[in-house]
Amino acid sequence: PVYCEGFKSKVWASGFDAAFHAILTKIVKPPKKKTNKVNMINFRGSAKDEIIQILGRLGLEPVFVAPFSTVEQLAEMSESAASISICGTLGGYLGNGLEEQYGVPYVKSLQPHGTEGIESWLRELGKATGRERETEAYLEEQRKKIEPELSEIRKKLKGYKVVIGMGPSFAYNYIRIVQELGAEVLWGAAWHFDQQYDHGVVPEAARRISSQEENLPVSVGDQQNFELLNLLNRLRPDLYISRHGGSAVWATKMGITSVMVADEYSAFGYQGLVEFGYRLIDAVTNRSLAKNLAARVKLPYTDWWLKQDSFTFLEKEVV
């Protein structure tokens, strides 16, 4: 059984924890042996082949959880060498549960997006599995491959201004990714904020932002469309990057070019960063859709609202 809070929950992501709690308590069995397998906690698994190749270089074998796993594979997760996740919000409960109950190390790092992310992710995995040397050799090889192309992408994206609206794990990691690509982030909006993950520590990406970004505004829980369009109207970025199709569409109707990140493996690793960079270049150099929509669509918001601070109603509630 899966316990479902429904609307009692204040955080949408509690559904992840409920599902993984059922798997952890009702399906996972105590280990009979230890293997070289890695529990790869993800959503869609679109980069399965690439992850199989990367972990194969390290002498490891991924098991994709929970999509693409059999019940037998889920039952044997306690035998794995480590657990890693594409998203800290998604994988935190299961990864920490396997570590606490069965001693399977859970990799706590930045998400594997962009150069800094993939290096943090793989280094922590290498440390957990005793494969540091193989990890460093792979990272150095891949870094050299993309550097010339990445340098050209940065030149083309320099000067563009971006607003990001996603769940917290992705929002804070994509702030870093956009900066790696040479563009400027004006604002980062997150659907919620985890004060700590299940292992009792502030998420790595949030800690990185707090220590390295002094003047970057970050907001939480303000991605209803009426709030978001108010914010975008005030900031007028060149580009809005979202992980929600509904908000991306409304930004486009406002005349702001939007990129919707549906696939969790967008910007994954070195080559993924390069491909995402080209996607952003395509978006900012072809604005015809946003321009044409804005010229033909009347927004359902009054001038009065668009001139307000986007936090006006929140401030009144607090007072």
Q: Tell me the per-residue pLDDT of 29-86, one tens digit each, with 9 for 90 and over.
A: 999 999 999 999 999 889 999 999 999 999 999 999 998 999 999 999 999 999 999 9
Domain 147-318: give its CATH superfamily: Nitrogenase molybdenum iron protein domain (3.40.50.1980)
The confidence score (pLDDT) of residue 215 equals 83
What whole-number distance in Å separates Cα of residue 164 and Cα of residue 304? 25
Name beta bridge partners: 224.
none
Q: What is the mean pLDDT of the chain?
A: 92
The answer on pLDDT for 315 being more than 70 is no
Which residue in 166, 137, 297, 294 sits closest to 240, CA to CA?
166
Q: What are the tens digits of pLDDT across the range 144-177? A: 999 999 999 999 999 999 999 998 888 999 999 9
Q: How many CA atoms lie within 13 A of 77 on its CB side?
A: 30
CATH topology of domain 6-106: Rossmann fold (3.40.50)
Least confident of 19-33, 185-199, 255-269, 299-313: 185-199
User: What share of the chain in percent tops pLDDT 70?
Assistant: 96
DSSP state letters, 23-72: HHHHT----SS--SEEEEE-SS-TTHHHHHHHHHHTT-EEEEESTT--HH
Q: Would you say residue 319 has pLDDT above 60? A: no
Where residue 194 falls among pLDDT bands split at 50, 70, 90? Answer: confident
pLDDT of 2 strictly over 60:
yes
Partners of 63 in the β-ladder: 39
Domain map (residue ranges) of the chain: 6-106, 147-318
